Homo-oligomer: A and B are copies of this chain.
């Protein structure tokens, strides 16, 4: 008898029929004798609907505490509905809000981080024979305010619960069959991976493969929670995210990721002195804008250029934040580009093989795709290209590396 934490996303809970189908799926696990804790997202479209009403009202301001109270209602609704659907099948289940479980977070509304999860009320529910249906994506701070965890928050909730409960597995039940070597909508030859390491998944996730949020993968890796991505409605084992790949013969590259929703910001003619990078990025991170790639070249004449990427939705805010700063530090110019995309190749096999980067750059050059930025880690190489070349780049690389 295993203890499994299952997370169902918004699409899986999109309407009454789907909620009932999820309840049937859960019933199947119960019949196999597993103990379950279920984490739910809001019904698909619901969070956007709430945010849209909220924005109509907060025309010229940003009221994150209230936005969290507003959007947190979405998971409350789906948790109650799923609990009902299970009771309707004669299964004992009860909704538990983050605040009833006690998922304690810091007070950064809209992007809160989990600090502690109490297991007492969850264990009491499990011991009473109930399936707890926990609202994902949300928590409470020490002052009893409702907080939300931001993007991918429900995945993070599920993994964190699995970690504190010592669950045997954390299943992310979603609308895809698993993790693919590339986005199947872009590359026909893309295939599902049976296994992938946490490190690879982390690089893939943060690079936009959208299956799992990087925070949840990081969490799972740190606490050694076996994590599985699988389809809610199709049978299949999905993809298991493991600490070490069992197959010792590691492929060079395990997947290709891409991200469309990024934008590039360049500050040119910056004085090349110590502390300049933090001076530029400080106010941006203080405003809770996530910075992704950062590139700075060795400068000449005591001046340097500084480029980084942010989410496209944060682009205008970032420029507005930087404008006064650029004047203050005497930068020559501030420019940006929203029409970019990022393409990355990821694989633990890359560590021990030279020449992967050359192979990648050659492949792109042979398609006449200009590389605007390059950034690398031990198991990943990312390039920024004009957005119009995205599909071409992904397909060429998928074929080049024989995925």
Interface presence of A250 (CB below 8 A):
no
Interface string of A281-301 (1 = CB under 8 A from B): 000000000000000000000
- A20–chain B nearest beta-carbon distance, Å: 7
Whether B80 and A61, one on each chain, are in contact in the complex, defined by CB atoms closer than 8 angstroms, is no
Interface string of A331-373 (1 = CB under 8 A from B): 0000000000000000000000000000000000000000000
- A339–chain B nearest beta-carbon distance, Å: 33
Chain B neighbourhood of A59, CB < 8 A:
88
Interface string of A82-106 (1 = CB under 8 A from B): 0111011000001101011000000
Contact of A97 among B61, B69, B79 (CB under 8 A): B69
Q: Which of A76, A77, A85 counts the most chain B CB atoms within 10 A?
A: A77
Contact of A77 among B16, B70, B100 (CB under 8 A): B70
Chain B neighbourhood of A27, CB < 8 A:
none
A73 to B97 Cα, complex, angstroms:
11
Interface string of A241-273 (1 = CB under 8 A from B): 000000000000000000000000000000000
**Size of chain A's interface in residues, with CB distance under 8 A?**
39
Whether A57 and B88, one on each chain, are in contact in the complex, defined by CB atoms closer than 8 angstroms, is yes
Chain B neighbourhood of A69, CB < 8 A:
76, 79-80, 83, 95, 97
- A245–chain B nearest beta-carbon distance, Å: 42
Whether A73 and B77, one on each chain, are in contact in the complex, defined by CB atoms closer than 8 angstroms, is yes
Whether A70 and B81, one on each chain, are in contact in the complex, defined by CB atoms closer than 8 angstroms, is yes
Q: How many copies does the complex hold?
A: 2
Contact of A57 among B72, B84, B144 (CB under 8 A): B84
Q: Looking at the complex, which of A48-56, A191-199, A394-402 is the stretch in contact with chain B?
A: A48-56
- A141–chain B nearest beta-carbon distance, Å: 11
- A57–chain B nearest beta-carbon distance, Å: 5
Whether B67 and A88, one on each chain, are in contact in the complex, defined by CB atoms closer than 8 angstroms, is no
Chain B neighbourhood of A81, CB < 8 A:
53-54, 57, 66, 70
Q: A57-B88, A85-B57 are in contact. Are A50 and B67 (CB under 8 A)?
A: no
A93: nearest residue on chain B (CB-CB)? Answer: B66
Interface presence of A58 (CB below 8 A):
yes
- A12–chain B nearest beta-carbon distance, Å: 15
- A333–chain B nearest beta-carbon distance, Å: 36
Interface presence of A311 (CB below 8 A):
no
Chain B neighbourhood of A80, CB < 8 A:
54, 66-67, 69-70, 73
Whether A16 and B83, one on each chain, are in contact in the complex, defined by CB atoms closer than 8 angstroms, is no
Q: Which of A292-315 contact B (CB under 8 A)?
A: none
Chain B neighbourhood of A36, CB < 8 A:
none
Chain B neighbourhood of A97, CB < 8 A:
69, 146
Closest 3 CB pairs of A and B: A70-B80, A73-B73, A69-B80
Interface pairs (14), CB distance under 8 Å: A19-B57, A57-B88, A58-B84, A58-B87, A63-B83, A63-B88, A65-B94, A66-B83, A66-B87, A67-B80, A69-B76, A70-B81, A73-B74, A73-B77
